[in-house]
Structure 1
Amino acid sequence: MKLAHALEAVKALGILRAKGIIDPTRPREALRAIQDSHVYGPAVTASRRAARATPDAPGLVDEHGELTFRQIDDQSTALARGLRTAGITEGTVVGLLARDHRGLVLALIAAGKLGAKVALLNTGFAKPQFAEVCEREGVRAVLHDSEFLGLLDALPEELPRYLTWVEGEIPSGARTLDELIAENSSEPLPAPAHPGGIVILTSGTTGLPKGAPRSRVNPLATAGMVDRIPYPRRGTQVIVSPLFHSTGLGTWLVAMSLGTKTVLRRRFDAEATLALVAEHRAQMLVAVPTMLHRMVELDPAILAKYDLSQLKCILVAGSALAPELCQKVAKVFGPVLYNLYGSTECAVATVATPEDLALSPGTAGRSPITCEVRLHDDNDRLITARETTGRIFVRSGAPFEGYTDGRNKQIIDGFLASGDVGHFDRHGLLMVDGRDDDMIVSGGENVFPQEVENLLLERADVFDAAVVGVDDVEFGKRLRAFVVPEPGHTPEESEIKAFVKANLARYKVPREVFLLAELPRNATGKLLRRELMEYERPS
């Protein structure tokens, strides 16, 4: 096993060289990056490296304009000085509640330079969730967009707070990151004794989001991100996935390591996203499947307005990728879709390339270097047969450190439970069947909602669909389907049931079908099934 891992490390180094992340002609720079990684963590390491390699190249574009890599590094240092003066020092936990823009990026890097820990907070939080997570994580200062001022009422008044982005007038007495940057020098600060790290919250679809800390990341773990995904080097990528979650954060860090410009937008809009890709001639777009769905559903006349010929990669992650969406994307954008499967805890598990998705639409693909996937049954026995469903376990280049509340997930021989179930198909590609806690047992039969949902999405009159289990006296659980119709369509309940019955086993036919204007989803596109389980038909 040790020999296999040593050979894997050698191969990972080769991939990093081939992708341009390591330059063998500059060994001193590689050593410096490794040292930075141990002292500061990934955000500062990537920022400092980009500032040294391509200081005057554009590093970030948002609605306020453009910043070079040198400006990102200098402004984050000035911000760190301002935050230190305000009492934010090594070990302080900072809550960061911001949409995708320079304020979030500069705050992350500045905290890293201080050795402060950043808890990335979900912009979709309700006040009770926000308050409970801040208390659990020990937040001692909050950096936030002005639109979230109402949530701050739930925290002690004496807690320091600064505005990362301002819409409209600056509230009386409020302080902004821009002010801190303007008031302070960009002279380097002393290095912290230990990296502060980042706490990424889980999606919280079944309860209060858990905190997954990342203090250090093995530099070789980056090989897992770039192995099967064609990140542009010194090019441009547009990210519309939220940076407070793993995929958006990870792709931004890789972009900086490659000297690639990142274009951000605070709020997603399907046409506006295509306009950004065209305007900046971006080679890569990072989104969640629900966002991509809205883009491919745009009127063909709108799609034709934008030159997207330079787009070589659309990377999606965060929620299930329906086979129907794979096929639509191929028709609209060509063979450019990549599907990343992982989790907050496991990091990267597998990546599906366009070739994989053509073979098995909706697949999660294969594991990249430094990652590996296994299946185990309910008795923890290894499953090796194809087309056999089991629980998914992942070995990753970025090992899980345990939740901030002290809990952990099951580990077998170094492989961490992802919480999903799936199988390897006849091509050896991973198919994720659904969350293990989403499985519905109805009348003694096991049903995974995703199978029924994917079938419903094949209908021309269905825009979105969800299936949940609700309590039933006779069957234990019965299936309830929710359908968002395509504009101009109103499918009948009897039609939906007959369609499922014609294509799947009888026990997978929903007993009830509700039509909704939209489904409840979080910022990464994950379905909030509990809300649907508690849904009551309007009287």
Structure 2
Amino acid sequence: MRRRIGHIRDLTALLLRTGLLFAGGPRRLLRQLGTLRRWGTTLGGLVASSAARSPSRPALIDDEGVLTFAELDELAARLAAGLPLHGPRPRVGVLCRNHRGMALTLVACSRRGAEVVLLNTGFGTGQIRAVLGELRPALIVADAEFAPLLSNVPIALRRNVLWADHRPPAGMPLAAPVPLAALPPAPRPDVDAMPRPAVGSGPSIDEIISSEPASDAGPPQIQSRTIMLSSGTTGRPKGARRPPRPGLWPLASMTSRIPLRSRQTMIVEAPLFHTWGYAALQMAWALRAPVVLHRRFDPEQTLRTIASHRDATVFAVPVMCQRILELPPDVRDRYDTSALRIFALSGAALPGDLATRFMDAFGDRLYNVYGSTEASWVSIATPHDLRLDPRTAGRPPRNTALAIVDDDGRKVGRSTRGQIFAANELLFEGYTGGEPMEVRDGLLATGDLGHIDHRGLLFVEGRSDGMVVSGGENILPKDVEDALLKLPEVQEVAVTGVADDEWGQRLAAYIVLRPGTRLDADTVREYVHAQVARYAAPRDVHFIPELPRNATGKVVTRWLSARPGRPLPEGHVEWPRPRAAGL
């Protein structure tokens, strides 16, 4: 009973706080609620209900223009009807960048009741083969740029391929694509007159949509489900099943700490295959807010987009925030960013004083969400929290439980380091490979170490398996990283442990210097000795041009030891810095 009363209270607060209750007349509101009750809070249900209430409202904006909710709902319904899928909850792999083709595919799969596997666009051949080999999707929907990658995958793992943007050039055929002849016949003569592509190239989703009549199919008997892949920074990516119908309670939890509103324009720069990007899409359409998508992140383009919309909200990962700050001042000054309301980050820890520098430049609009693929969100740092300490992960939102426990499973007191456990309304259902997950008293282990200080703020100190033990001393690499980032010469740094015959492990620091500065290894060691501890001074100090990152901007520490001249590791993605003024 108490839980039901709490849900009613949270839902009422959500409707009032976000403006969902007041936009549109009562008849349209009832129509929306009826559609939502029929379809549920799946992605397809959110779009269908938004179309029922605000059909002419912009739903998606990308390089190709604007789609209203009515247009998005109709196109997705036709695509869902034409997807070559059979059986209950068929599995679909999606390998796309942020654009309308991916959004349409996600909504169509939701309407069809498919299980969607979101594939990382930074995967190499080995990673994509491993994931497809384990999950065996019945259909792959991909951007044409990934045709060479898929061509290296065994035919058995890619028998059915559709293209989300356009068919790849001739001469880049896949061995067993879906032929257009396999699709249902189109009712319009002009479509029948279209030239049929050769069997050696699969159709695009636009061709499927154009070959399908308008569809009024109802909800699927089995709800769709999403499989998110872990980032793979510590090993092979693992598939995590998300609940099929999340409800509106997760949105109520997020908006209890982040002031998301239905009138805002949601600029989603975080990749849609990532938990944060996908969550941004869900939240935006639950609020009936327009979503802006860019295929690739460009820091100046983000500022340009903020300047061109009212009440702009940005969803991004921390490295994107860094790249915006690295733009030359004269470039940043070209754009009026006074319309920025929220800049919400997630996906990696905020390094050093990044939060303070961003808020000094753009105002107190920064929010930092700490979570994981498995736990969704754990805590949210508001601008006020980040002003208190730019390293904090903030506090848990409503309906979120958080505990710090020791190795014996006992809760520890304030300012005591331990393992972070959490629970909320959207915990994952389990790994697709059956890997075990650690749960204590209903709380899920995040795999991170941290502490809660005397103010109730959470601080994440690193992975529990990332602790370095050197000569009997326990060292957290993040403590050393935070210290080194205070040096004016240091732009970025990563610290990790390497094997040592005498000490068991020793610290190695990988440093990216600011342009035009110099620093030597002895100065680095002396500084860490003075600021942290003697045993925390890195014995190995490497100066490198950039830190190796994956497609979500996370630094992958196991790639740091790659020798110069060797091929880049699979999954490595370049995050180039803006060119300095005058270059």
With the shorter chain as reference, the TM-score category is: over 0.9
Distance in 1 separating the partners of 2:247 and 2:85: 30
Distance in 2 separating the partners of 1:417 and 1:21: 35
Residues 8/451 of structure 1: CA separation in 2 closer, same or farther (3 Å cut)? farther
Residues 538/79 of structure 1: CA separation in 2 closer, same or farther (3 Å cut)? closer
Q: CA deviation at 1:218?
A: 3.3
The answer to whether residue 486 in structure 2 is matched with residue 458 in structure 1 is yes
| Partners of 1:55 and 1:68 within 8 A in 2 | yes
Matched with 1:319 is 348
Residues 537/426 of structure 1: CA separation in 2 closer, same or farther (3 Å cut)? farther
Distance in 1 separating the partners of 2:430 and 2:124: 25
| Partners of 1:341 and 1:351 within 8 A in 2 | yes
Matched with 1:97 is 95
2:493 partner amino acid = A
Q: CA deviation at 1:88?
A: 4.7
Matched with 1:156 is 155
Match of 1:138 among 136, 139, 145: 136
Q: CA deviation at 1:105?
A: 0.6
Summarize the alignment of residues 184-223 of structure 1 with structure 2, pairs less than 5 Å apart.
184-214=212-242, 215-223=244-252
Match of 1:227 among 229, 235, 256: 256
Q: Which runs of 5+ in 2 are unaligned?
A: 173-199, 567-583
| Partners of 2:309 and 2:339 within 8 A in 1 | no
| Partners of 2:366 and 2:383 within 8 A in 1 | yes
Distance in 1 separating the partners of 2:346 and 2:356: 17
Distance in 1 separating the partners of 2:390 and 2:454: 13
Q: CA deviation at 1:23?
A: 3.4
| Partners of 1:93 and 1:140 within 8 A in 2 | yes
Deviations 1:132-185 (A, max 9, x none): 111211211100011111221203266110111239747662310111111112
Distance in 2 separating the partners of 1:7 and 1:474: 61
1:244 partner amino acid = F
| Partners of 1:482 and 1:513 within 8 A in 2 | yes
Summarize the alignment of residues 462-473 of structure 1 with structure 2, pairs less than 5 Å apart.
462-473=490-501
Matched with 1:366 is 395
Distance in 2 separating the partners of 1:411 and 1:352: 25
1:469 partner amino acid = G
Residues 360/197 of structure 1: CA separation in 2 closer, same or farther (3 Å cut)? same
Summarize the alignment of residues 33-182 of structure 1 with structure 2, pairs less than 5 Å apart.
33-37=36-40, 42-83=42-83, 86-88=84-86, 90-153=88-151, 154-156=153-155, 159-166=159-166, 169=169, 173-182=201-210
Distance in 2 separating the partners of 1:133 and 1:471: 30
The answer to whether residue 272 in structure 2 is matched with residue 243 in structure 1 is yes
Summarize the alignment of residues 299-310 of structure 1 with structure 2, pairs less than 5 Å apart.
299-310=328-339
Distance in 1 separating the partners of 2:206 and 2:128: 25
| Partners of 2:167 and 2:203 within 8 A in 1 | no
Summarize the alignment of residues 393-412 of structure 1 with structure 2, pairs less than 5 Å apart.
393-412=421-440
Of 373-382 and 167-176, the range deviating more from structure 2: 167-176
**What's the RMSD between the two structures over aligned residues?**
1.9
Match of 1:293 among 315, 318, 322: 322
- Equivalent pairs counted in the alignment come to 530
| Partners of 2:35 and 2:52 within 8 A in 1 | no
| Partners of 2:32 and 2:53 within 8 A in 1 | no
2:377 partner amino acid = V
Distance in 1 separating the partners of 2:121 and 2:417: 35
1:127 partner amino acid = T
Distance in 2 separating the partners of 1:148 and 1:394: 37
1:133 partner amino acid = V
| Partners of 1:224 and 1:348 within 8 A in 2 | no
Distance in 2 separating the partners of 1:233 and 1:442: 52
Matched with 2:188 is none
Q: CA deviation at 1:131?
A: 1.1
Deviations 1:371-412 (A, max 9, x none): 1211110111112x2110110001111122010112231111
Distance in 2 separating the partners of 1:96 and 1:102: 13
1:349 partner amino acid = V
* Structure with the greater alpha carbon radius of gyration: 2
| Partners of 1:88 and 1:141 within 8 A in 2 | no
Matched with 2:362 is 333
Q: Which runs of 5+ in 1 are unaligned?
A: none
**Local SS of the residue matching 1:67:** strand
2:346 partner amino acid = A
**Local SS of the residue matching 1:400:** coil
1:299 partner amino acid = P
1:286 partner amino acid = F
**Local SS of the residue matching 1:312:** strand
Q: CA deviation at 1:460?
A: 2.0
Deviations 1:76-132 (A, max 9, x none): 11111110xx23553211000001111111001101111111100000101111011
Q: CA deviation at 1:352?
A: 0.6
**Local SS of the residue matching 1:199:** strand
2:235 partner amino acid = G
Distance in 2 separating the partners of 1:28 and 1:111: 23
| Partners of 1:117 and 1:198 within 8 A in 2 | yes
Match of 2:10 among 5, 9, 12: 12
Matched with 2:290 is 261
Matched with 1:535 is 562
| Partners of 2:35 and 2:48 within 8 A in 1 | no
Matched with 2:407 is 378
2:504 partner amino acid = G
Q: CA deviation at 1:360?
A: 1.7
| Partners of 1:8 and 1:369 within 8 A in 2 | no
**Local SS of the residue matching 1:256:** helix
Deviations 1:290-332 (A, max 9, x none): 1101101211111100010010110000000124101111111
The answer to whether residue 525 in structure 2 is matched with residue 491 in structure 1 is no
| Partners of 2:492 and 2:511 within 8 A in 1 | yes
**Local SS of the residue matching 1:212:** strand
* TM-score relative to the length of structure 1: 0.94
| Partners of 1:89 and 1:116 within 8 A in 2 | no
Q: CA deviation at 1:8?
A: 3.4
Distance in 2 separating the partners of 1:282 and 1:163: 34
Match of 1:283 among 295, 312, 321: 312
Matched with 2:449 is 421
**Local SS of the residue matching 1:482:** strand
Q: CA deviation at 1:420?
A: 0.6
* TM-score relative to the length of structure 2: 0.87
Distance in 2 separating the partners of 1:167 and 1:184: 18
Distance in 2 separating the partners of 1:234 and 1:49: 17
| Partners of 1:88 and 1:116 within 8 A in 2 | no
Q: CA deviation at 1:216?
A: 2.6
